[in-house]
Amino acid sequence: MKKVLLSLVACWLVLDVIAQTKITLNSDLAKTQINKHIYGHFAEHLGRCIYGGIYVGEGNTKIPNTAGVRNDVIQALKDLKIPNLRWPGGCFADTYQWKDGIGPKDKRPKMVNVWWGGVTEDNSFGTHDFLDLCERIGAEPYLAGNVGSGTVKDLVDWVSYVNHPGGSPMAELRKQNGREKPWNVQLWGVGNEAWGCGGNMTAEYYANIYRQYATFMADWNNTGKLYRIASGASDGDYQWTETLMKNIPHNMLSGVALHHYSVISWTDKGPSVNFNEQEYFKIMDEAWKMEEFVTRHSTIMDKYDPEKKVALIVDEWGGWYSVEPGTNPGFLYQQNTMRDAMIAGLTLNIFNNHADRVRGANLAQIVNVLQSVILTNEEKMLLTPTYHVMKMYNVHQDALLVPISIESPSYEFQGKKLTAVSASASKNAAGAMTISLTNIDYSKPHEITINLRGDEFSKVSGQILASAKINDFNSFEQPNKITVKEFAGAKLDKGVLKLTIPAYSVITLTLKK
């Protein structure tokens, strides 16, 4: 009898440790396309993102480069299949004078980067450098226009410089600077954070300003109307979205932006590496708020745009912590741990599942700033856990969203609860289905049962990103401490898929017929 009781206790303990998650997928109902631009990135003139990160100078013989851009960064970004790259900001965009960044580099005027560190910007990386980089990595450029301190003519001239085929003063200036054919840039941000560093405007005032700027932006190549994106809300400022959707004619509005960062507190952001569970839980809570923000902003947009012609573009998102000790506070350089992988997996699942309205997003930022996918130190370069998650998930780009229902136990801490497991799925043109799973639980693995409906599959393969500790990260001494590995723990039997996902890990599964 004693042995029986001990066995029962052991079973109860196992059930308590291995939480149960149930998922149902209906692959035959896949209709909505997951826009590839959800997987966009962001490069601002901030800290070591551009200089030392992307651009090391054309005369640099120590670090292999192409026209001054690091070859290792080019290759890493090509492998990541970046669909678009946003530039030059951010707050920097509304102080940037694009004409200062063209022509002979030794004749370009300097400026002071008043937003980020007060450093002198020599404008050696400008429009040609950025647009040529986008061509090399296969990404569409997303240019953020200066509305805060610029003029309508400044932005109109920029559009003409990069898009007009020839005959206009700006097109001829482009040709004099060595570029015969236009780049045909379609993605344009009409200002940035107009409610803050972009001008401290009211929503009503900005809506009128937007209408003015958008009126004069033209597409001379007739390759399609410019994709104009309005400076949208921060977090839960639903009135901002309401005002823009109400006051801007939708025929001149392609997208409305949204910014949300996962941050503990704007006064005390906490460490990027040596965080505790309380700090971890708070960041996960902030990451999960993206679901609420996307849902409620989308509901407002549905009121004015039931056909969903205007996209929600989350063009700044990611984790924000205190800078690494000993670094310039204005450079926003932080390490990237498994916690950041959790933010990435969870957020991308949210975006995928809202693909009917969310049709673009930009992780902040691409190199050496905030939640970077790449870190550099002189000739050294490493790929962060966030990079690996973005690469694992890029199979969803332009695939069809598979409707999903999920019942997940909570991750609990000090009486508060968060959904532990998030998931999204898609089906590609060949009929293969990919399921992405993220378990943010700080200590518990989760047993997952997935009921597959609508299609029959016979093969399953997988990848996993996991590590021994939530605080683990890739360093320049150990650049491959955290890497993607094969996952063979998923079992498929008669339309039911079973697996166990470890605590704080990300898994992608591919099913084929």
Residue of 144, 136, 9 lying closest to 69 (CA atoms): 136
Contact 463, 392 (CB under 8 A): yes
Judging by DSSP bridges, how do beta strands 416-419 and 491-493 pair with one another?
unpaired
Can you name the residues that pair with 407 across neighbouring β-strands?
Answer: 22
To which residue do tokens 């890029």 refer?
A: 394
Compute the CA torsion angle 225, 78, 283, 465 (nearest 10 deg): 140
Helical ranges in 164-321 per DSSP H:
169-176, 203-216, 238-247, 277-304
Can you name the residues that pair with 413 across neighbouring β-strands?
Answer: 416
Judging by DSSP bridges, how do beta strands 69-70 and 19-26 pair with one another?
unpaired
CA 326/CA 506 separation, integer angstroms = 32
Contact 391, 435 (CB under 8 A): no
Can you name the residues that pair with 310 across neighbouring β-strands?
Answer: none
To which residue do tokens 């598979």 refer?
A: 402
Contact 213, 145 (CB under 8 A): yes
To which residue do tokens 């490493």 refer?
A: 382
Helix (H, G, I), strand (E, B) or coil at 179: coil
Q: Which residues are catalytic?
A: 193, 316
